[in-house]
Structure 1
């Protein structure tokens, strides 16, 4: 097995078969591997993760920007106040200069903004480090704050709520078509697609000893299906929208199969004639229902499935895991519109997806979460948070980490300002000394730093 814990946070080694992807930066636990390099070092998964971490450090959270803006005015104001204390009474009232100069220095030391300025970045850095250690790559503190304010979570179905490992259960020929001919055409077409359903069909054909043939003019229509010219004839495969697009006739048998429960159905055909329907099953993730229940306990008001699959298949998954709403047969732009509608109605929205079809919705959401275990690169680029392994239980951890971090930041700001206010009052009563002011400033800074490091342990233990 290959140990991918450095990238995914998953300690169990992953078994690799011929043709599987082996990531740079992982470790071969046992056996011998023959590996072929497919990408340059700058484009490996590890290199992309490192780039994302570097970018995350440049994206400042709103609370960080607020503290910076506050310090921009606070610091010169305190300088002016200290100067007024030191020079005002001697110049205006003729008081002793040495006494009021001492008090001015005391005011300057007490009001030093070190603890205030460091109150936010320490907590943010600790929270981001903890999240990365657990397999949550957050591309900046701003997105950690968004996670704390989430009100609705929307999911893609295939590969997110399901395992993303569909299996061909049945191929139903229509109009007397030969099964082996159908499978040969399907294998040739789907060989060039990266969709999980396409990979399942190609694997099923390989089990039957059918190898892909060359095709021409291969074309993918996102959220619908694919088409290509095979042996001079236009062949297509996809969901029910592809059937409409090809203006193909559907038999009563086809309509009956399309209306079945949780099964996903791929329709294939030639020209305006449907050849067959392929019924596939993709098991629901065992942890999905408990994660949905946990999200509700965290105060998430609404959950939804946004999928391009057939309504009956989407509804079956919705009922199985306890999600509030399902929307099916959605094109990528439809998913984006649905996310915008959910955000307008409920507020902060998380969209969880893993494929090219989800990229628009991920970008439109308050917080896009890409599932990195099987995700397309474009989806991971569009997302602001990446789950380095497809474990849905990381979602509640993301929300908890965001809320815990914000709570620590508020505590730090209160501690920093509280120390300043207390010693300003002591100075006004002539009860503070210069050494006490130095100790108070350093003490406040140390308290803020130690409190800010609490997110390193996180609000919950890793599962």
Structure 2
């Protein structure tokens, strides 16, 4: 029970782990001890989870005092580091991230720092004594605004907001000043007044305009350059600051102004394009509705924030509304658009007892749903969290590029300084000319476009996949799928539906299909065997009503089938072996020569079967069906068989199309199954797989994955399965892909890639997306390197100027790699039409 008073406007919430607080009396002691402090607004000891939630007024008490009162009650507070996540929208490049990391490095009680410039977020592991305000101040000391996530209205900035910022206004004014100054100096020099001579150099009015442009447009650059120097970060802001100051000091105000304005424009454009990339994550976050309609016990309805829903609440959802939480339908029926979760475009009909997900949309009808998960634990919330976390682990390419950049930048900076100083000193060359060459090389030295080329592509690819029902758990998995040329596919639950269904009904002795289904369904009605349930279900789907018959004397014949009296006639439904043995009997009683009899089989004597009919069934129809991997069931009476029913785990309609598309993409598809050889051969032939391995135990599947990997050397093997019974093999494969992970905690947590719906057509899409992502990353990396090399080669000859370096080398390439990466958002899954599925 929570004990509270009216909280103050500045009330804060502190959550502590108190593992030993595991009973009501423990909770009472802790509550009484903490309650003695002034400024406590609420105390909620949660015994089942060992957590203590305290609301307090920070002006009257603090975290340390609360912890001390918990210890005074005799309970230890777990010192495990907490995790603080902040939104830092202006941190949009690796050099920005380095400054933030350096600013946080010396803080006490701060552990691991993870910066994610692709989404503008910083995650900090904080100890007991860490304070959120201290962390925010440290980040601000690096020149960036920071907001703890949860305290702001929107953690991802609106892309258009960048053009309304103070920096955008200053850049615009600076551009106007530069334009007027250029007009006076180059177009209308007669109107450019001479203001005087300083150190032998004459200054005109245009020069003052250039200096003013440096002050207006360059102040943010100089401020960030100062923070960079203070945090020992050799980044673009520091280099540009050096270039701007050096230009003005060396009597080149025009170059300094151009550098300030163009670099500010580049920074604004880069921020805008990065916010657009981040926008794809915002779309995921916006899937969940903000409010929900709750039906109270008295029948009234109340609109509440969706994040305040509690487990057990009943919410009402009407046509066109989004379902606000994961739960189970209790009343009503409706078609639900589940594409936000599963990526499947066809709405799914939902009835009472079926599961629904937050963020999915009611097409029609009316539903009442019992909430079964809190807002931050819903399927869509976990997807968003996992997409964000996917950036934490750098890919091999990112790690290599970071190492390359750490060497590349200092080398080019040294070359820039040498170019500016050595030719004039050694050869008496023009100081002015070589200063501009050095300044150009200084701009070229920043590897911004090169370093962001991989992460922005990874973020674009992962968020695009998530919107299409494919959850990729990290950039290295996105890369690895496209690099794998072998895909091991589990049969049951992957290529097949995993549920038995009737595939063939073959009448004998003049009976009709409906008659066979009616008799078989009535006989199997009381059976709990999956085959019997499949026959009953198929009969009902076919419009046959097994309940219309009078059924009695039901008996399960263990290992053989079932027997029951249907409308007074004894019927058998069972394996061919049952009728084969019956057909071999010459009498209904024990033979006098000691031969096989019904009594010896454990059955009551029955009249002799028609031998010829039985042999026809056993020798012709049954072997053909079994060769197709089907389980054969004979339906008959005391007089003999009247029909054959074949049951099988039905192949998914899209399986053949999927295998064909994968093979067209150059993927070698291998089927793995624990089923028998005949069934495996039949399924493989039906879907077009040439290589299969049957009768495999879980450890044998694992060993086969290893063999495939060793067989292909450096090539990688991916595996797709249901995420649970194939866990060892999925974990061993380079990339484990789980089918139908929506609502399945195990698959969501353990798989490298999760297909949220049971839709095999997402596999070709996954390979296409991964292949294009790898291609985009290679294009970005090599084009960045090539452009830098060309610009650096042209600088000493005067072909490349500061303007070229900023517009092409920095602004142009940053926009280019970001725009190229955004192309991944346009990769859409291909959906086969009815003819392709039928074929």
TM superposition score normalised by structure 2: 0.43
Tell me: CA distance 1:311–1:40, structure 2 relative to 1, closer, same or farther (3 Å): farther
Q: Does 1:350 align with 2:718?
A: yes
- d(CA) in 2 for partners of 1:201, 1:374: 29
Match of 2:702 in 1: 336
Q: Which residues of structure 1 form unaligned runs of 5+?
A: 171-178, 191-196, 210-234, 237-249, 267-277
Higher RCO (CA 8 Å, separation ≥ 6 residues): 1
Contact 2:525 2:533 in 1 (8 A): no
Contact 1:292 1:322 in 2 (8 A): yes
Match of 1:379 in 2: 747
CA apart distance, 1:14 = 0.5
Q: Does 1:102 align with 2:102?
A: no
Superimposed CA distance per residue, residues 429-462 of structure 1 (whole angstroms, 9 cap, x where no aligned partner):
2333222322222222222222222222128766
Match of 1:25 in 2: 359
CA apart distance, 1:58 = 1.6
Match of 2:806 in 1: 438
Match of 1:89 in 2: 423
CA apart distance, 1:332 = 2.3
CA apart distance, 1:370 = 0.9
- In the TM superposition, 1:114-125 aligns within 5 A as 114-125=448-459
Contact 2:741 2:748 in 1 (8 A): no
Pick from 495, 515, 530: which aligns with 1:161? 495
Q: Does 1:129 align with 2:463?
A: yes
Q: Does 1:15 align with 2:349?
A: yes
Tell me: CA distance 1:200–1:19, structure 2 relative to 1, closer, same or farther (3 Å): farther
Q: Does 1:322 align with 2:688?
A: yes
Tell me: CA distance 1:318–1:457, structure 2 relative to 1, closer, same or farther (3 Å): same
Q: Which has the higher strand share?
A: 2
Three-state SS of the structure 2 residue aligned to 1:15 is strand
Match of 1:271 in 2: none
- In the TM superposition, 1:354-373 aligns within 5 A as 354-372=722-740
Tell me: CA distance 1:162–1:363, structure 2 relative to 1, closer, same or farther (3 Å): same
- In the TM superposition, 1:164-313 aligns within 5 A as 164-167=498-501, 186=528, 261-263=628-630, 280-300=647-667, 302-313=668-679
- d(CA) in 1 for partners of 2:576, 2:361: 52
- d(CA) in 2 for partners of 1:9, 1:375: 14
- d(CA) in 1 for partners of 2:533, 2:413: 67
Three-state SS of the structure 2 residue aligned to 1:405 is helix
Tell me: CA distance 1:330–1:183, structure 2 relative to 1, closer, same or farther (3 Å): farther
Contact 2:416 2:438 in 1 (8 A): yes
CA apart distance, 1:150 = 1.6
Superimposed CA distance per residue, residues 285-344 of structure 1 (whole angstroms, 9 cap, x where no aligned partner):
2221122122121112x3222122233222211111111222223232222222111222
Three-state SS of the structure 2 residue aligned to 1:34 is strand
CA apart distance, 1:181 = 11
Q: CA RMSD in A?
A: 3.7
Match of 2:480 in 1: 146
- d(CA) in 2 for partners of 1:265, 1:52: 45
- d(CA) in 2 for partners of 1:103, 1:87: 10
- d(CA) in 2 for partners of 1:396, 1:368: 15
- d(CA) in 1 for partners of 2:469, 2:762: 8
Contact 1:264 1:313 in 2 (8 A): no
Tell me: CA distance 1:93–1:371, structure 2 relative to 1, closer, same or farther (3 Å): same
Tell me: CA distance 1:308–1:376, structure 2 relative to 1, closer, same or farther (3 Å): farther
Contact 1:371 1:380 in 2 (8 A): no
- d(CA) in 1 for partners of 2:686, 2:466: 31
Three-state SS of the structure 1 residue aligned to 2:484 is coil
Contact 2:536 2:546 in 1 (8 A): no
TM superposition score normalised by structure 1: 0.75
Contact 1:400 1:459 in 2 (8 A): no
Match of 2:590 in 1: none
Contact 2:702 2:728 in 1 (8 A): yes
Contact 2:716 2:734 in 1 (8 A): yes
Contact 1:2 1:27 in 2 (8 A): yes
Match of 2:411 in 1: 77
Contact 1:71 1:117 in 2 (8 A): yes
CA apart distance, 1:66 = 2.0
- d(CA) in 1 for partners of 2:461, 2:651: 31
- d(CA) in 2 for partners of 1:42, 1:460: 29
**Matched residue count:** 398
Pick from 445, 456, 459: which aligns with 2:825? 456
Three-state SS of the structure 2 residue aligned to 1:349 is strand
- d(CA) in 1 for partners of 2:341, 2:704: 32
CA apart distance, 1:4 = 0.8
Tell me: CA distance 1:44–1:202, structure 2 relative to 1, closer, same or farther (3 Å): farther
CA apart distance, 1:351 = 0.8
- d(CA) in 1 for partners of 2:679, 2:722: 18
Contact 2:723 2:751 in 1 (8 A): no
- d(CA) in 2 for partners of 1:48, 1:157: 28
- d(CA) in 2 for partners of 1:374, 1:279: 32
- d(CA) in 2 for partners of 1:72, 1:200: 64
Three-state SS of the structure 1 residue aligned to 2:369 is coil
- d(CA) in 2 for partners of 1:378, 1:60: 24
CA apart distance, 1:199 = 8.9
Q: Which protein has the larger Cα radius of gyration, Structure 1 or Structure 2?
A: 2
